[in-house]
Chains A and B, each alone.
Chain A
């Protein structure tokens, strides 16, 4: 089990990039490179990361990066993976790095196809629960009740459960993560690298600009997401579901912080009524009953 100090000092996301102050996805990007090093080829569709690179002729990324059409991360990654295999470059990892919009909405088809074809790559959805790049419109990953520019009175629908959708493809590895738990994320990335086939990691990345909180709270809010059970850290490895620490101890509801603590820290939930919050709490509790059942199964997918 690696410690933070054992993580390499080299940076492959170079300082002076264009992300907002306090950007959660940027922390996740640094952790990506701490985990995998620089023998990676990134495929990045239209998303916040497109802009984070900075403008031509400069880039903040010290690894090969293919910018890609919004829908097409999974497909472009399939092409790159095929070419690398043909050229015998077995030690280069293909990583699709896409926002939630480019994953659960417009990108879902290409990702689903890539997974069904058992494409050998790691797909990471960094989820700031909106279309951040274009100014914070709602996505299928926006949670119930959240303000976005296209849901100004709060989203009426629930968040799409993308990790389970991917697990239903029977890919060898699905995981959730959060940069507030850096070693958990790093371990999952390193584990994924050693597995052949499609690996999907969904990382919740708080966004001060979109979620409306003080930029200094990014890591704290991510932690609260996990501590309240709104975001569970788990792996589904060859169909077997397993909660990771600290989520493994949160099956006991009394150990979970009330969701209100998480919601009230963010202006995007400012207009929620008590009834809304109760509804959200109930859904979280239902999800955790489900997680408990899944944990006891030999295989769920």
Chain B
């Protein structure tokens, strides 16, 4: 659904449509970013289920794919990983 530009385009009452990035590119909130060591990863999928932002998706082999456009860097994935395969690294910028 496009962003309205004129009054004619808005609905009769505010109706909003499902959008990835409804709050923008929330990855820009980050101070630290999670880095996955796939050699340690046991594909338990706990990081996937615990991510508050749904920024981690499951690859076909159940290893995590982190979407850095939206990851806020909370660090829950790193904290919960049972084998410490995820580390939090400071953003360079």
Contact = CB atoms under 8 A, between A and B. Distances in A.
- In the complex, are there CB atoms of A and B closer than 8 Å? yes
B1 A57 contact: yes
A53 B14 CA distance: 13
A62 interface: yes
A30 B57 CA distance: 12
A212 interface: no
B54 interface: yes
Contact of B75 (A23, A182, A214): A214
Contact of A60 (B14, B19, B29, B50): B19
Given A22-B52, A30-B52, A16 B69 contact: yes
A263 to B, nearest CB: 19
A4 B82 CA distance: 15
Nearest to A214: B75
B17 A59 contact: yes
Contacts of A18: 22-23, 26
Contacts of A22: 52, 72, 74-76
B52 A23 contact: yes
A57 B62 contact: no
Interface of A: 4-5, 7, 9, 11, 13-19, 21-24, 26-27, 30-31, 34, 53-62, 179, 182, 208, 214-220
15 contacts: A5-B62, A14-B21, A15-B55, A15-B70, A16-B22, A16-B26, A21-B29, A27-B51, A54-B16, A59-B18, A62-B18, A182-B50, A218-B52, A219-B79, A220-B80
What are the 4 tightest A-B residue pairs by CB atom distance, in nearest-first order? A54-B22, A216-B75, A16-B21, A26-B52
